[in-house]
Amino acid sequence: MVGSPTIHRMVAWRKVIHTVAHWTVPLLVCVIVPALLVVSTIDRHPRFSPIDEGAHFDYVERIYTDGVPTFGDRLLRSSLREMACRGTRLEGLLVPPCDAKVMKYDLFPGGAYQYEAQQPPLYYAVTAPIAKMTEAVLGVAPLGSMRVVGLLWLVAGLLLLWKTSRILNVGRVPMLATLLAIGTAPNVVYYSSIVSNDSAGILFGALAGYLGALSFKRGNNYLIPGVILGLAAALTKTSCALPVGVVGLVLAAVTIRRASAAGEDRRNMRLTGLGMMGGTLVGTLMWVAYYRAVATIEPKKLPTFDVLRTGPVNLGNILGQAKSFLAPLTDSYNPFGAWNGEVYGLLATLGMLAIVAGLAAGAYARERTWWSVAGPIVLVSLYVGGVVIGVGIWRAYDINPGVSGRYALPMLPLLALIIPAGLQRRFGQIAYSVGCAGAAVLSTWMLTHVSLA
């Protein structure tokens, strides 16, 4: 047929254009915007973060040379020198001068013990080789190369979250607005810009949501992947295990509600959920048993934590602190709130109200759907998770746990799927999307106008 090659080429080009158009905005929201903000933050933040970045830096430095640290180990002298020379944003911290011949342990706060030895090793084991490669290829300093890995965790999590939203048929515009709000949120950007295992949280939350979505939509048995994901999350950070366990619980609850599902589908979802919950529980218990067994100093007696033992702590304190889990986007230390404390406080309050209302809405939905079942479960799990983590820290180290919103960062992907999915009316979707876009603009202004030197 005359002209058929031309027609085929035109069809091929239309497919290419459609694919590019389909992914342009998601790539902008999930990759380009967060990357620009994280790289800018890293570049403007030469000193160590006061959120234990020096100890996390040391963990990455030593994991393939000195092994996984234990309670009783000291920070490497090379790490101590890096900390002395770079300095920290923690005001009033006294350390030896950069040019001291020997970095003596007793001249550092708390005796320079490696006080993050209770952290599982997976984040550090993954970060170390990528950081070394970045350092070799781009010529970035060790601290900067480790920080860049946080951006990779974040971007991977946001892209997977977008993929999961397509599986669950969440509205495209509200979902993109949600991803934009997350990718520009002060806590998300800050903890993706420093060396911290908190930076892996978004990815593990997204992985939990993705596996749950696959099981729900396809009805397949993902027992083994669920166990593996649970173990990996627990061996990264306890808070990373929280969304995996919660999704497992949601799958079990959905099988009870979803009477229309075939018996085999319900069984497979239940097995997937049990695998996820079982993996997180076993992984957590294994790690706690290990780090306690190899410790040469009892965690409750570690001198570094003495500064957090300034007064009595009780369950009532922790119940109050756990409310911070309801504001993971803002409720934690980051330097950006200094731009305008009142505006930042307003942003935090509105964010918390939106999260609580969006998750609780499922309890009043007329039709039982995945999001209406998941919303109330996730809302309760957020608060209960904060209490459990707070009590765990308190009893393990005999300190004020200072429960923080950053511990709830791994739960953000679940919120990002549930809340926009529950917006059934067009007006609600538009109002929500405009609100998210406004929050993103305000957050970006703060992120780029606050001095981090």
* Domain spans of the chain, in order of start: 25-300+311-449
Cα distance between residue 355 and residue 381, in whole Å: 13
What is the predicted pLDDT for the residue at 149?
97
120 Cβ neighbours under 8 A, 6+ residues apart:
197, 234, 235, 236, 237, 238, 287
E strands, 257-349, in order? none
Cα distance between residue 81 and residue 116, in whole Å: 18
What is the predicted pLDDT for the residue at 264?
77
What is the predicted pLDDT for the residue at 250?
92
Task: Let me know the angle formed at the C-alpha of 100 by 96 and 103, rounded to the nearest 5 degrees.
Answer: 65
What is the predicted pLDDT for the residue at 451?
85
Q: Which residues of the chain have pLDDT under 50?
A: 1-2
Q: What is the pLDDT of residues 355-404, one digit of tens each?
A: 999 999 988 887 788 899 999 999 999 999 999 999 999 999 999 999 99
Cα distance between residue 164 and residue 417, in whole Å: 8
pTM: 0.93
Cα distance between residue 281 and residue 60, in whole Å: 25
What is the predicted pLDDT for the residue at 18?
61
52 Cβ neighbours under 8 A, 6+ residues apart:
115, 116, 196
CA proximity to 51, closest of 240, 348, 332: 332
